Amino acid sequence: MHLETALVHTRDELGAARGAMGGSVAAVMTMGALHDGHRALLRAARERADHVITTVFVNPLQFGPNEDFDRYPRTLDADLAICAEAGVDLVFAPDRAEMYPSGEPMVRVNPGPLGERLEGASRPGFFHGVLTVVLKLLQVTRPDLAFFGEKDYQQLTLVRRMVRDLDVPVEIVGVPTVREPDGLALSSRNRYLAPAERQAALTLSAALRAGVEAAAQGRDAEAAARASFDSGTAGGAGLAKLDYLVLTDPDLGPAPARGPGRLLVAAWVGSTRLIDNAAVEVAPAT
Ligand code: PAF
């Protein structure tokens, strides 16, 4: 157990602690409510770098007016314990005024056309908010590496793209999604789910599995995934409402006729919006 995780709330404190770090530095950005998915990010960061900085900030910029900003879980004490256990050197947990001292930023990162599709279509302005805070956190933590979960695949893709397009000197590392034994992808929002909704949420991962299997057999992955979702055989039929289910290439471009692709799904389960995705290998059509 690493007991020397320091907690800082201001940029000045962060700057001083960062300045004292020799060797390589990895950043893991979070909104708190840490779970095993974050533990995997922290572990991966710990393995690659001499120092790990975790940021904990529920970013108001990436929540729409009717979204869950107010009810988003805030669990800093538990988060700190997880960070200490994972060997994190420094936790930066700023408040809103520390991150946005002049109020809402006038200038924001424009995610381009990819930011308007999929999550961006359902959550206007979401990726402007995400990329703006990610860029700010990269500026203040100055990491050599930054780790993001594949669970938020469009976010990971856009962060990679931002770093490339804007010449941000950091290596972005993607970390595979962590799942419950029954397939549910870990998410801080899973704690909103009532038992019947928790069951219905399995519809997403079940649909992805059906799609992955179909693709490998040269069948239509999207159609198979949709049929699985609609059948509700995973449980909780009728409780999960599909937003999108789409096959793309690994960069979220058009679906490949063969080779590697990505299957992405988003659905409402009760009042909770869940997303998931999986790598697929598209075999030639049979
Ligand atoms: O993935 C998240 O938790 C957030 O979108 C991030 C990257 C911490 C930015 O607020």
29 lines ligand 1 (CB under 6 A): yes
Task: State the Cα–Cα distance between residues 162 and 164, nearest whole angstrom.
Answer: 5
- Between the CA of 283 and the centroid of ligand 1 the distance, in Å, is 34
Within 8 A by CB and 6+ apart from 48, the residues are: 24, 26, 145, 173
Q: Taking the model in full, what pTM does it have?
A: 0.96
Mean pLDDT value across the chain: 96
**For ligand 1, mutation pick of 31, 79, 153 (most atoms within 8 Å of CB):** 31
Confidence tier at 285 by pLDDT (50, 70, 90): confident
pLDDT in tens, 19-60: 999 999 999 999 999 999 999 999 999 999 999 999 999 999
Task: State the Cα–Cα distance between residues 210 and 225, nearest whole angstrom.
Answer: 5
- Between the CA of 224 and the centroid of ligand 1 the distance, in Å, is 31
Annotated catalytic residues are 38
130 pLDDT more than 50: yes
133 lines ligand 1 (CB under 6 A): yes
Residue with CA at minimum distance from ligand 1 atom 2: 30
Confidence tier at 118 by pLDDT (50, 70, 90): very high
For the chain, the straight-line distance linking the first and the last C-alpha, in angstroms and rounded, comes to 53
Query: Within the chain, how many helices (H) and strands (E) appear?
Result: 10, 9
How would you label 112-130 residue by residue, b for 16+ Cβ within 10 Å and e otherwise?
A: eebbebbbbeebebbbbbb
Task: State the Cα–Cα distance between residues 226 and 236, nearest whole angstrom.
Answer: 16
Ligand-binding annotation for 87, yes or no, is no
- Between the CA of 189 and the centroid of ligand 1 the distance, in Å, is 13
134 lines ligand 1 (CB under 6 A): yes
pLDDT in tens, 88-97: 999 999 999 9
pLDDT value of residue 106? 96
Residue with CA at minimum distance from ligand 1 atom 6: 30
pLDDT in tens, 234-253: 666 679 999 999 999 999 99
